[in-house]
Chains A and B, each alone.
Chain A
């Protein structure tokens, strides 16, 4: 185990030297039926960036997220995340890779039968953090997301915004290098959406690379971050301080 650890670190350092944390090179993904979900996509994201990925349904955003999580493998091209070559990574190495990512979903995906504390602690148990440290880390991260008082609540007792905060706390507790958020505000009202986005921005300011897939025009336009726009499996625009491009 120790050997793979050190190798993993070496890989990370290598990626750090290049300052690029996510690289998609000529990535095409074809499902068994229909047109390609992604065609020849090239994307380079540097450490510490905050990037919006926008586009309609069918534009290929979800496919891209799945590729970055190594849930899918590209049909051609290469994907490198934090020094891991995702086209070649072995099945048993995937868990270790994913521990460097924090993931937030539109539907929160909390373990419904466990309370807030256990949901967040779960991420730490997976990486075998000693119980003592878990007891220290979890309350602190819950305080960061503004849920210090609700650690005993079950997910169904929380509002959508609160559930998403729990999901963010879970994604952050292991101090990932990258936070991937797939439509994090999709199920939230405008007020909660803004609060979640501010939280993500704050996380980014602390050094985490943040990638947000979203439909939320208002937020994208207001936040003035890098915006990658996708349409029918192709990146149609990639702008620093961009805005939401309206469909024709």
Chain B
């Protein structure tokens, strides 16, 4: 291909957008609407998952040791715990630390009456999990380990979070399926309009002796440009709206602020932005290829 032909093709792609203003606007609006919905649901779901994940991270299993156990034995048990795949981290709390935190929290100045540590046998490991659903397996294991007197766990929280997690997964899947169906419908409609606009132009080009490639290229470039614009607009809107909505929720539901941990907009966009652009370009590319292909057989 000649360089001048290459630039002509690129230029035609740009010019085409302005030649068929209304069609371009309709296409941009369609792709934009689909990607806006996608972006919104992605933001909601990502935050929801983050909230669940944060809650899960707070769920821990605490193990207490047999009376009079040696420090060595405790460390041995610690090593065993570290080897378990369920464990994300463990924190050792010595008997003194346990007493101190109990005093501060519940007794205050009344604690002065105690000369010995009443919680002398309350050294413990606080174990945090990778995934709450793994809790029962870990507890069963820990209960079998020699030197462990008691395993404390929060059965209800773990079960609830596991349930919520599954629910989020199902909802995500459902929304993605619906979005996909809506997008296909909207896009195929736009493509049908595109065909009626292009039909004559394509047939003229073919009669004059244009190759399929020459006919197709400007349309494909146009389609991809429309896709990029159709992706930039909704992601821009979401970027602006995101912080405002989060600020509103935090203010409105201040009482839940410990439970609601939102992701920063940059984290959301590190995935949302490239995925939206790729989807926009992909939709534009496929849409234009399909539109043109039907008329190339002249």
Contacts and interface: CB of A to CB of B under 8 A. Distances in A.
Interface string B1-39: 110110010000000000110000000000000000000
Contact of A130 (B4, B200, B297): B4
B209 A95 contact: yes
Contacts of B8: 125
A110 B201 CA distance: 8
Contact of B2 (A95, A113, A128): A128
A100 B4 CA distance: 22
Interface string A89-111: 00110011111010100000111
Nearest to A171: B208
Given A95-B211, A98-B207, A111-B204, A125 B19 contact: no
A245 to B, nearest CB: 30
Interface in B191-236: 200-201, 203-212, 214
Nearest to B211: A95
A180 to B, nearest CB: 10
B214 A113 contact: no
A69 interface: yes
Contacts of A122: 205, 208
A126 interface: yes
A170 B208 contact: yes
B214 A126 contact: yes
A99 B2 contact: no
Contact of A126 (B200, B203, B209): B209
B79 interface: no
A111 B2 contact: no
A37 interface: no
Nearest to A173: B208
B156 interface: no
A122 B215 CA distance: 11
Contacts of A113: 19-20
A131 interface: yes
A71 interface: yes
A126 B2 contact: no
A69 B208 contact: no
Contacts of B20: 113
Nearest to B210: A126
Given A125-B5, A125-B8, A98 B204 contact: no
Contacts of B207: 69, 98, 103, 109
Contacts of B19: 113
B164 to A, nearest CB: 56
A153 interface: no
Contacts of A170: 208
B298 interface: yes
Q: Which of B2, B201, B208 gathers the greatest number of chain A CB atoms within 10 Å?
A: B208
A127 interface: yes
A109 B297 CA distance: 18
A123 interface: yes
A96 B210 CA distance: 8
Contacts of A99: 208-209
A125 B206 CA distance: 13
A125 B254 CA distance: 65
Interface string B255-298: 00000000000000000000000000000000000000000011
Contacts of B201: 111
Contacts of B208: 98-99, 103, 122-123, 126, 170
A92 B2 contact: no
A130 B2 contact: yes
A122 B8 CA distance: 10
25 contacts: A92-B211, A95-B206, A95-B209, A95-B214, A98-B207, A99-B208, A99-B209, A101-B209, A109-B200, A109-B207, A122-B208, A123-B209, A125-B5, A126-B208, A126-B209, A126-B214, A127-B209, A128-B1, A128-B2, A128-B4, A128-B5, A130-B2, A131-B4, A170-B208, A174-B209
Interface of B: 1-2, 4-5, 8, 19-20, 200-201, 203-212, 214, 297-298
Given A92-B211, A174-B209, 10 more contacts: A71-B298, A95-B209, A98-B207, A103-B208, A109-B200, A109-B203, A113-B20, A125-B8, A126-B209, A126-B210
By Cβ-Cβ distance, the 8 closest A-B pairs, closest first, are A98-B209, A99-B209, A95-B211, A126-B210, A113-B19, A95-B209, A131-B4, A128-B2
